[in-house]
């Protein structure tokens, strides 16, 4: 990926941090954004840009910097998301509450910080990619888009992300810019490891998702995937890469979830 410029949003921790690391180790010039990006555990060569993706002016400044310093953007990974915080409120676990008991802030967090943030960043990216007739936009999504998983708001927001992918693909197809939704499996993020309750036998490192994005970005025929939902572990089988520990996680299916 030498010569490739990539931006990963929401890269302060978890999957986003792993994607930024994976793309950097594949040779890309990587910009990583997030509210707490300055304290993120990232390679020093990754360009950290503090950005609140719910603030349009902050996003404007992020892309202005990329244009000034690089003059191009080849890969955008929309990973910034909201709504995972404050799962326990006033001593009550609200994450799995029925929709009539869900706090309304969670809708705003997932739809605005999540779906809207991906839309706004993609607008900026498309303005750079379309004139060059190349580019890849990856929207990190989840099986909740297709099957009830956690709560109603989570499912609606992930389904919206996949619909965003499908419809953007229609408008970008004639410009040779690809856009896909990417589903990780069970990822060994800081939160998952801290919970200590998950069976990690078929889990993935955060960097594994970065390898999946790198494989897509290096595919000269990546537009054949555009508009589709892709599973990271299935891409590993297709492109022939493994996780950082040498393992090959089994691709999950809708039945597994």
Domain definitions of the chain by residue range? 5-239
Coil, helix or strand at residue 185: coil
What burial class does residue 101 get, using C-beta atoms within 10 Å of its C-beta: 0-12 exposed, 13-18 middle, 19+ buried?
exposed
Whether 148 shows a pLDDT value over 90: the answer reads yes
Radius of gyration (C-alpha) of the chain in whole angstroms:
17
pLDDT of amino acid 196: 83
Listed in sequence order, the residues at least 6 apart from 185 whose beta carbon sits closer than 8 Å to its beta carbon are 202, 203, 204, 231, 232, 233, 249, 251, 252
Contact assessment for residue 138 and residue 216, using Cβ atoms and an 8 Å cutoff: yes
CATH domain 5-239 topology: Rossmann fold (3.40.50)
Of the pLDDT bands very low, low, confident and very high (cuts 50, 70, 90), residue 190 is: confident
pLDDT of amino acid 90: 86
Active site (catalytic) residues: 154
Residue 217 to residue 238: CA distance in whole angstroms: 14
> Mean pLDDT score of the chain, rounded to an integer?
95
What burial class does residue 207 get, using C-beta atoms within 10 Å of its C-beta: 0-12 exposed, 13-18 middle, 19+ buried?
buried
Full-model pTM: 0.96
Whether 122 shows a pLDDT value over 80: the answer reads yes
């Amino acid at each position: 990926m030498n010569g490739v410029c990539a931006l990963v949003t929401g890269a302060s921790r978890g999957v986003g941090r792993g994607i930024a690391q994976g793309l950097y180790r594949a040779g890309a010039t990587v910009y990583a954004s997030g509210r707490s990006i300055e304290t993120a555990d990232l390679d020093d060569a990754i360009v950290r840009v503090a950005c609140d993706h719910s603030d349009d002016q902050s996003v404007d400044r992020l892309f202005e910097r990329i244009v000034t310093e690089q003059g191009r953007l080849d890969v955008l990974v929309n990973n910034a998301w909201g709504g995972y915080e404050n799962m326990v409120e006033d001593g009550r676990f609200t994450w799995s509450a029925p929709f009539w008991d869900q706090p309304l802030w969670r809708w705003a967090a997932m739809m605005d910080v999540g779906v809207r943030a991906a839309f706004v960043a993609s607008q900026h990216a498309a303005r750079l990619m379309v004139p060059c007739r190349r580019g890849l936009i990856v929207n990190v999504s989840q099986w909740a888009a297709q099957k009830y998983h956690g709560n109603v708001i989570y499912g609606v927001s992930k389904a919206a992300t996949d619909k965003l992918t499908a419809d953007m693909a229609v408008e970008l197809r004639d410009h040779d810019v690809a856009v896909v939704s990417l589903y990780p499996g069970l990822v060994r993020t800081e939160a998952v490891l801290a919970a200590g309750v998950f069976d990690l036998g078929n889990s993935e490192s955060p960097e594994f998702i970065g390898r999946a994005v790198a494989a897509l970005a290096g595919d000269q025929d990546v537009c054949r995937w555009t508009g589709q939902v892709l599973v990271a572990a299935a891409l590993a089988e297709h492109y022939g890469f493994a996780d950082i520990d040498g393992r090959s996680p089994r691709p999950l299916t809708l039945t597994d979830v």
